[in-house]
């Protein structure tokens, strides 16, 4: 579901896939070839949300006043609240990025990790645990980030171009 809030409304690129079972409200921008999966909540009522090109936001994730770069994979059940995520990042399942935190480019935040308020994860690092420990990522881990992104690009395109869900009367295209 997409709905306006006061004077703001979601802006979804034509080539993006946004599940009809997600909730986007207010100042939300979803850039080209990005994907937003079922039960994602993006509340752009407190401040803007931007989801970068070719980023995938997986099921049960919540974004609130967040900037997410391009080529990002956000795993299931992630929270990004008033934070910034760079390009080519993997946020593992059930990770949490707290207010005023930032995750640099080419990073991994491991499943279940909590990035604390005001914490910065520098470019090219993996953060794991709570509080997070840091170590440089390997070339193999960089390749893994890109592999997950490519898998979701292909899956999203299959969904985007499929017929409308059963029981839906209008056309199957998503804005």
Strand 23-30 with 41-51, pairing:
parallel
Above 50 in pLDDT, residue 147?
yes
Task: Band the pLDDT of 149: cuts 50, 70, 90.
Answer: very high
Stretch 119-135: mean pLDDT: 96
pLDDT for residue 171: 42
Strand 125-128 with 133-136, pairing:
antiparallel
What CATH superfamily is the domain 2-160? Hexapeptide repeat proteins (2.160.10.10)
Q: Could you tell me the residue ranges of all domains in the chain? A: 2-160
pTM here?
0.91
pLDDT for residue 162: 86
For 34-73, the pLDDT digits (tens) are: 999 999 999 999 999 999 999 999 999 999 999 999 999 9
């Amino acid at each position: 579901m997409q709905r306006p809030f006061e004077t703001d409304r979601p802006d979804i690129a034509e080539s993006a896939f946004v599940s009809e079972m997600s909730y986007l409200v207010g100042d939300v921008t979803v850039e080209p070839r990005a994907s937003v999966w079922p039960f994602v909540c993006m509340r752009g009522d407190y401040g803007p949300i931007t989801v970068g090109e070719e980023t995938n936001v997986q099921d049960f994730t919540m974004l609130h006043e967040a900037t997410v770069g391009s080529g990002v994979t956000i795993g299931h059940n992630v929270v990004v609240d008033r934070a910034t995520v760079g390009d080519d990042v993997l946020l593992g399942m059930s990770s949490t990025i707290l207010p005023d935190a930032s995750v640099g480019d080419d990073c991994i935040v491991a499943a279940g990790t909590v990035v604390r308020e005001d914490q910065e994860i520098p470019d090219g690092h993996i953060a794991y645990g709570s509080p997070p420990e840091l170590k440089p990522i390997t070339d193999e881990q960089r390749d893994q980030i890109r592999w997950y992104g490519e898998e979701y690009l292909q899956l999203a395109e299959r969904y985007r171009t499929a017929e409308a869900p059963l029981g839906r009367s209008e056309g199957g295209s998503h804005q």
